[in-house]
Structure 1
Amino acid sequence: MEDKRNIPIIEWEHLDKRKFYLLGICMTMAIRVSVYPFTLIRTRLQVQKGKSLYQGTFDAFVKILRTEGAAGLYRGFLVNTFTLISGQCYVTTYELTRKYVARYSDSNAVKSLVAGGSASLVAQSITVPIDVVSQHLMMQRKGESMGRFRVRQRQAGGRLPLCGQTKDIILQIFRADGLRGFYRGYVASLLTYIPNSAVWWPFYHFYAAASCPSLASASPPPEQLSSLTPRDCPHLLLQAISGPLAAATASTLTNPMDVVRARVQVEGKSSIILTFKQLLAEEGPWGLTKGLSARIISATPSTIVIVVGYETLKKLSLRPELVDSRHW
């Protein structure tokens, strides 16, 4: 008789899908609420010319809080929450792709690279239109806009209500560029997030192996890390160290394209190459690092929650007959 407690990895077929998606949405929403202000700050830093308004991440945080209040740090948040759909599509694609690639390769690096890249491709196809609208809302400062479009004022004075602002931005994008406007920067997004997702997983395994010598020869996937005994390496500590280091590395490598992506989407530029050249001409090589610290700051807590919470999420989502199959 098979010992249920010997299941080494929680696979897709072991999960109660309804519970998995429900808990996944709750976890993702909690992450979004905590890191969204730094996403907004990163976007504003990347779009501004030089240091015309903000000197850096902390300066931007203080100025926005002082002039726009706490609500200013969450401009466009409600629209951005629709990306929860793409987040669940990412997870589903990642798991199913890993399962498919496993038929042809036992290499964890290959499975992670292909699955991460494929998941990002699917997610970005859903996310880009939402990002375009939410980023334009992020650019709406008190009394002015840092982007192409500005939310119109009510005839009787004062700003439009939240839903009215979103509708106004959507109409302006459509009138200016048609449906194509909602996919502006799509290629730049793919060139940013597919490499980011694809390299995150190999770097995660690299840092895990470097942090725990017992992993040096195998570098198992995150799901297998929980099978290590405390004497080998503390599981949660290993994840809490390896995840943020991988996120910081991937963010640093892909930040130049992320800056270009933000400018293409917010300023309405049509050429990635020309935008890249203009950025270098105006601000030099340092322009490619704009918003990097805010990006790393936002990625660190979310990565810790993801790498630690994702395994916990899968444990909580086990089918009832398999609940006793994993150690906590």
Structure 2
Amino acid sequence: MQQKRNIQIIEWEDLDKKKFYSFGLFMTMTIRATVYPATLIRTRLQVQKGKSLYGGTFDAFFKILRVEGVQGLYRGFMVNTFTLISGQAYITTYELVRKYVSQYSEDNTVKSLVAGGSASLVAQSITVPIDVISQQLMMQGQGQHLTRFRLDSNTETGKPKKVFGQTRNIIAQIFAADGFRGFYRGYVASLLTYIPNSAVWWPFYHFYAEQLSKLAPSDCPHLILQAMAGPLAAATASTVTNPMDVVRARVQVEGRNSIIETFRELIKEEGFWGLTKGLSARIISSTPTAIVMVVGYETLKKLSLRPELVDSRHW
């Protein structure tokens, strides 16, 4: 613990690991289901040329809802749930690296930056193949003309095996076109997007929480301050990393090989404003994500505290 800080940070050695992982799975699944529609919208906005399909975040939401129904907002969700594995890998890596770095530095910014970047590296190695498949499924429906792969008509109309039939169909097409490498298309772009995003998010999260604690009354629950700090950190990280996120989405969905060439083409076609595509959707999705994640994660850690430490932590 860092007693000098107004808001105490629950560290890895303070946790009951069995409770931590049990509650963690439920929390991660809840977050995925809550923000998935915004993730789908962001992907379609980033891949479309100009405003050929949607005029913006809310236009996309209402068009998808009207034409494809609620189901359209959850295309590829079943595949995406496999990221639960990467979610557990992420939080485990983050906490373990924080503990390791604390042997060399007690500076919270250093620990958060190194741990956040390391956690993202591990998680993305698991997540990228899942993202590649789920993004192709996201683009079906109104956005199918923007991707190389389209569902066979018989899988589109089949009812009992529709979800898994579509998934198998997309997997087979990716493998036939690109082999195993196809499932890791955009891996470098993902690392260049999410490692900085994670490395920036955690230091800013603790920074904003600490600054808010100095402005708030002393009896203000820390969880409220942390819930406010989360979206601020998410907006900051999203703004910094959005240009690479646009490039990543295009590399993975359009089957491109060159990050630099994709970046150049984006600038040529749409100017520097093209680098902001999907940013509003990303911030909109990151706000509830950050609130749910922060409240869930901090509550998870509180519930997972070793019994002898419960009464010693201000909540």
TM-score using structure 1 length: 0.88
Deviations 1:188-233 (A, max 9, x none): 000000000001122223323443437xxxxxxxxxxxxxx95265
Aligned to 1:91: 91
**Deviation for aligned residue 1:154:** 1.4
Runs of 4 or more consecutive aligned structure 1 residues displaced over 3 Å after TM superposition: 142-145, 319-328
Q: Is the 8 A contact 1:244 1:299 kept in 2?
A: yes
Aligned to 1:82: 82
Q: Is the 8 A contact 2:16 2:304 kept in 1?
A: yes
Instruction: Compare the two structures and name the one with the higher helix fraction.
Output: 2
User: 2-side partners of 1:237 and 1:158: how far apart?
Assistant: 47
Aligned to 1:200: 201
**Deviation for aligned residue 1:106:** 1.2
Q: Is the 8 A contact 2:150 2:170 kept in 1?
A: yes
**Deviation for aligned residue 1:187:** 0.3
- Listed as ranges, the matches of 1:122-271 within 5 Å are 122-141=122-141, 144-154=144-154, 158-159=157-158, 161-213=162-214, 231=218, 233-271=220-258
User: 2-side partners of 1:66 and 1:266: how far apart?
Assistant: 24
Q: Is the 8 A contact 2:223 2:298 kept in 1?
A: no
Aligned to 1:73: 73
Instruction: Classify 1:261/1:29 alpha carbon distance in 2 versus 1 (closer, same or farther; 3 Å).
Output: same
| Fraction of identical pairs, as percent | 76
User: 1-side partners of 2:283 and 2:135: how far apart?
Assistant: 19
- Listed as ranges, the matches of 1:6-85 within 5 Å are 9-85=9-85
Aligned to 1:100: 100
Select the structure of larger CA radius of gyration. 1
Gaps of 5+ in 1: 1-7, 215-228
- Structure 2 counterpart of 1:288, which letter? L
Mean CA deviation greater in 299-308 or 168-177: 299-308
- Structure 1 counterpart of 2:226, which letter? Q
Match of 2:153, SS? coil
Aligned to 1:303: 290
- Structure 2 counterpart of 1:84, which letter? L
Q: Is the 8 A contact 1:44 1:139 kept in 2?
A: yes
User: 2-side partners of 1:240 and 1:9: how far apart?
Assistant: 14
TM-score using structure 2 length: 0.92
Match of 1:164, SS? helix
Q: Is the 8 A contact 1:89 1:123 kept in 2?
A: yes
- Structure 1 counterpart of 2:151, which letter? V
Aligned to 2:4: none
1:293 matched to 2:280? The reply is: yes
Aligned residues: 306
Gaps of 5+ in 2: 1-7
Aligned-residue Cα RMSD (Å) equals 1.9
